Copies of this chain bind each other. A is one copy, B any other.
């Protein structure tokens, strides 16, 4: 049994990599470019070469390695098979551990990158100490990662945790990226907050700092912190939608904690003031003890989670 693992987070532009010890400390982290030519055929060989070079640098033998965890931008089944390919990096479907083992013969576990990031937050981030957790990523869209008893719930087509597409508003006229109307993502993502802001500002002429300069989720929540009344109204709408959506999620899996990450979460604890009361209003009473926490690992969540697939003992 080795004392180290590599965590690999394959993105469309770069592959993030980290060397972790059993306690979950990252000993080194670095990036290599993602070479997408030839259906991404060199991505895994490049990863393997980079790991072998790092092992040499650190004087690590194969026996020192517990394994390699890999987060990939596509659906992965329990056996580590990529289910529907990964279009962003040109991959078709194949068995990831099998391909990796041609280069480095240690245990390899693969997972979807969003789920891997969720797992990282459970292992060493905002969800540390919990084993029933839902990660909520408020970025360009709204993503989710469901963890039950310390295990990632992938769903049958890898679509578990698509909480951004819970229908939350009957009156919506705009179409969501998924083709439906009224999805949570249309109100609680970074772009959703801007949509809410534009709609609110168009309603009347009430003064607001948001009427000048650029309109982003950041400027909205900055204005909230400055007490801007219009911004507070926008944040209340945001909180109402998100609280309602998270209540639905809690009524399905009854988690201990929601860990909120992604760009919008950089607003910090003030987010909770708007989400918490609405979550409490709509959730089933026996699930009211669910906590809200901020994600802590930022862009490193993926490498933590990938290493955690190997090292985390729940």
A contact residues vs B (CB 8 Å cutoff)? 78, 132, 144, 146, 148-149, 153-163, 165-167, 178-180, 244, 247-249, 251-256, 281-287, 289
**Given that A148-B148, A149-B78, A247-B167 are known contacts, is A158 also in contact with B252, CB under 8 Å in the complex?**
no
| Distance of A155 Cα from B290 Cα, bound (Å) | 11
Residues of B within 8 A of A144 (CB): 252
Known: A153-B253, A155-B255. A167 touches B282 (CB 8 A): yes
User: Are B153 and A148 touching (Cβ within 8 A)?
Assistant: yes
A132 to chain B, nearest CB (A): 5
Give bound CA distance, A288 to B136, whole Å: 22
The reply to whether B180 and A146 form a contact with Cβ atoms under 8 Å apart is no
CB neighbours (8 Å) of A286 from chain B are 157-159, 162
> From residue A226, how far is it (CB to closest CB) to chain B in Å?
30
Q: B159 contacts A254, CB within 8 Å?
A: yes
Copy number in the complex reads: 2
Q: Which residues of B are found within 8 Å of A255, using beta-carbon distances? A: 155-156
Contacts of A163 on B, CB cut-off 8 Å?
251-252
Return 5 A-B CB contacts under 8 Å, by A number: A78-B149, A159-B286, A162-B286, A165-B283, A252-B252
Nearest-neighbour CB distance to chain B for A211, whole angstroms, equals 29
Min C-beta distance of A108 to chain B, whole Å: 21
Closest B-chain residue to A148, C-beta based?
B153
Is B244 a contact of A161 with CB atoms below 8 Å? no
Q: In the complex, are the beta carbons of A284 and B178 less than 8 A apart? A: yes
Contacts A167-B248, A253-B253, A254-B156; A284 near B148 (Cβ below 8 A) = no
CA distance A166 to B166 in the complex (A): 11
Whether A254 contacts B155 in the complex (CB less than 8 A), given A162-B287, A167-B247, comes out as: yes
List B contacts of A132 (CB < 8 A). 155-156
Q: In the bound complex, do residue B284 and residue A165 qualify as a contact, i.e. CB atoms below 8 Å apart? A: yes
Of A156, A163, A165, A283, the most chain B CB neighbours within 10 A belong to A156
